[in-house]
Structure 1
Amino acid sequence: MTTPSLLIQVLLTSLLHIFHWILARLRVTQLAQRSLLRILASGPIPQHVGFVMDGNRRYARGKGKLVQEGHGDGYLALRRVLEICLRLNIRCVSVYAFAIDNFKRPEQEVKALMQLAESKLLELCSHGDLLQEYGVKLNVIGRISLFPESVQAAVRRAEDLTKENNRSILNVCMPYSSRDEMTTAVEDCIRGALLKDVDYFSADDPIEDITEDTLNSHLMSVKRGSPPLDILVRTSGVKRLSDFMLWQCCENTQLHFSKTYWPDFGLFDFVPIILEWQRSVWFQETSHFV
C-alpha cells in the first residue's frame, strides 16, 4: 500500500521535473527572474551554500580567451550568483576562490590572480555595490599571510569596509584548504585547553575536554559566524570536493555537481538545486506525520 509521504514525494519530484522542462525552454526576463526568486524564497531556504567555482580555465580555452579573461568572467559569475542567493535570503555564501596549492600554478597565472583578487575585493566593497546594498559582511577565510602585502592590505580594507554589515555573510576562501582549516582548529583547541591549566602535566588532562563541538567552534569559517553548510555546489562536471569544507559537509549537506563551467553558471543552473533541496526538506517534514 502506498503511504501518504511516498505520494507527496512522487508529486514533488514530478513538479520538479516539470519545472526543469519549463526552465530549459523559456527565456526569462529580469522581472520574471525576480518574481521567480520571490516565489522560491517563500518556501524553505538553505542558510548556507558553498560553491567550488571550477572551470574558468577550460571555459577560457573553449572561448579562445586568455586564462586571465576566464578568471575575470568567473568574477562576473560570482556577482551574478551572489545576487541570486541574496534575493533568496540565503544567509551565508562561501566560495572557493583560491586554493593554497594554486600557488604552484604558472607564475604568470598566479600573478594575474593576485591582481584580480586585489582589485575585485575593493570593487565588491565599494560604496553602493552589491555587498553594501544587501548588508553583506565579507570574510576572507584562509592563510592570508601567504598573499603579497598589497593583497593582504586589500583584504584588510575590504573586511573593514563591511564589518558593520549583519544581514548576510560572504566567505571568500583564499588561500584555503580544508585540511589547513582543520589543522588550525586542532592547534587552537589544544592551545586553549592547555591555557586553562598551566600545569598541564597534572592528573587532570585538559585536552580531554576537546570534543567535536569544540573543534567545530574553532574552524575559521565558524568563528566568523557561518551557519552549518546546507548545500555544496561544484561546477564544470568534476566530481571531487578538492579539499573544500570537508568537515562542514560531512553531515546533512547536499552535494551537487553541475556540468556548467563556472563563468556560465546562473539562474537556470541554480534554481533546480534549490528546488531539490526544498523537495528534500518537504519530504522530511511530511515523513514525520506518517
Structure 2
Amino acid sequence: MDGNRRFAKINKMETNEGHSAGFDTMARLLEICYDCGVEAATVFAFSIENFNRPEYEIEWLMKLAKSKMKQVIEHGELCDRYGIRIRILGNVKLLPHDVRDSLLEAQEMTKNNTRAVLNICCPYTARDDMTHSIKTILAKGYDPEMIDQDLIADNLYTGGIPRLQLLIRTSGVYRLSDFMLWEAVDVDCDIEILSVLWPQFTPTLMLWTLFKWGWNRSSRTRRNDRLLQRHEKDD
C-alpha cells in the first residue's frame, strides 16, 4: 500500500493525514474483496524498515494502528457479521507494548471466524519472516538435512493460509519492497503494478483489477487444457 506520503505532499496535507486516507482506502477495498469472494487478503501495514522513518511519523503510525484495532475490539460484531478472522503477521516483539496488545487482542477476538481472513503484516519484512521460519524449525528439533522448501513455507508467518494468487503494488514502483518474497515466486501468483498512489486506489479500479486477474487466469487454464488435450491425442 504505497503512496500515502506522496499523496499528502501532492495535496498539501500533513503526513499523518495521508496515512489516515490510506487506511480509509484499505477499508473500502477490503470490503470489495470480501464481497467478491476473496478468502484471504494480506496488507503490508508496517515494515520493519519503517522504524528508520522520523520518530513523529512512527509515533503517528503506531497511534493509528492502536486506534483502529481498538475500534475492532469495541465493535467486534462487524468482523463477526462478515466472518473475518484477523491474523497478525510479523515480529510483534518490536512493537510498543500497548500497540502489540491491541493487535493481539483483535486477533484473539476474531479467531473463531471462518468466512475470510485478514492478514495484517505489522511489523514485517519477508527476509525477517524467512529467518523466523528457520529459527522456528531448528527450535522444534529438526535435523538440518530434513529442512526443505515445504517445511520452510509451513513455518512462515503465512503458513496455513491459501496460496498467494495476486499481489498488488501501487505507485508504479516495480519492486516488492521485501513483501511476501517467498510466496510471490509461486507459478500461480500474478503481480499487478498500478500507477496510482494508494489513497487514489478506487473500488472501481479494484473491481477491474480482480476482473482482469480472473479473466487472465481463466484464459491460462483454457490454454493449458488445450495443450494437455493435444498432448494426450499425440500420445
TM-score, structure 1 normalization:
0.74
> Which structure is larger by alpha-carbon Rg, 1 or 2?
1
Given candidates 158, 162, 184, the residue that maps to 2:132 is 184
Given candidates 100, 104, 107, the residue that maps to 1:152 is 100
Q: Is the 8 A contact 1:56 1:70 kept in 2?
A: yes
5 Å-filtered alignment, 1:104-123, equals 104-123=52-71
| % identical aligned pairs | 36
Given candidates 92, 101, 107, the residue that maps to 2:40 is 92
Ranges of 4+ aligned residues in structure 1 off by more than 6 Å: none
Q: Tell me which amino acid in the other structure corresponds to 1:220.
A: Y
Q: Is the 8 A contact 1:239 1:257 kept in 2?
A: yes
Partner of 2:173: 238
Single out whichever of 252-261 and 91-100 deviates more from structure 2.
252-261
Q: Tell me which amino acid in the other structure corresponds to 1:255.
A: I
Task: Work out which structure has the larger RCO, using CA pairs closer than 8 Å and 6 or more positions apart in sequence.
Answer: 1
| Separation in 2, partners of 1:270, 1:162 | 26
Q: Is the 8 A contact 1:125 1:132 kept in 2?
A: no
RMSD, aligned α-carbons: 1.4
Partner of 1:284: 220
Q: Is the 8 A contact 1:125 1:162 kept in 2?
A: no
CA shift, 1:126, in A, is: 3.7
5 Å-filtered alignment, 1:179-258, equals 179-194=127-142, 206-222=143-159, 225-251=160-186, 252-258=188-194
Change (3 A) 1:126 1:239: farther
Partner of 1:59: 7
| Separation in 2, partners of 1:258, 1:284 | 22
Given candidates 67, 74, 94, the residue that maps to 2:22 is 74
Given candidates 159, 162, 167, the residue that maps to 2:110 is 162
Secondary structure at the aligned position of 1:289 is classed as helix
TM-score, structure 2 normalization:
0.91
Partner of 1:5: none
Change (3 A) 1:284 1:83: same
CA shift, 1:193, in A, is: 3.7
Q: Which runs of 5+ in 2 are unaligned?
A: 228-235
Change (3 A) 1:130 1:74: farther
Secondary structure at the aligned position of 2:117 is classed as strand
Q: Is the 8 A contact 1:193 1:209 kept in 2?
A: no
Q: Which runs of 5+ in 1 are unaligned?
A: 1-52, 195-205
Secondary structure at the aligned position of 1:247 is classed as helix
CA shift, 1:125, in A, is: 4.4
Q: Tell me which amino acid in the other structure corresponds to 1:265.
A: F
CA shift, 1:130, in A, is: 4.1
Q: How many residues align?
A: 225
| Separation in 1, partners of 2:148, 2:185 | 16
| Separation in 2, partners of 1:274, 1:122 | 30
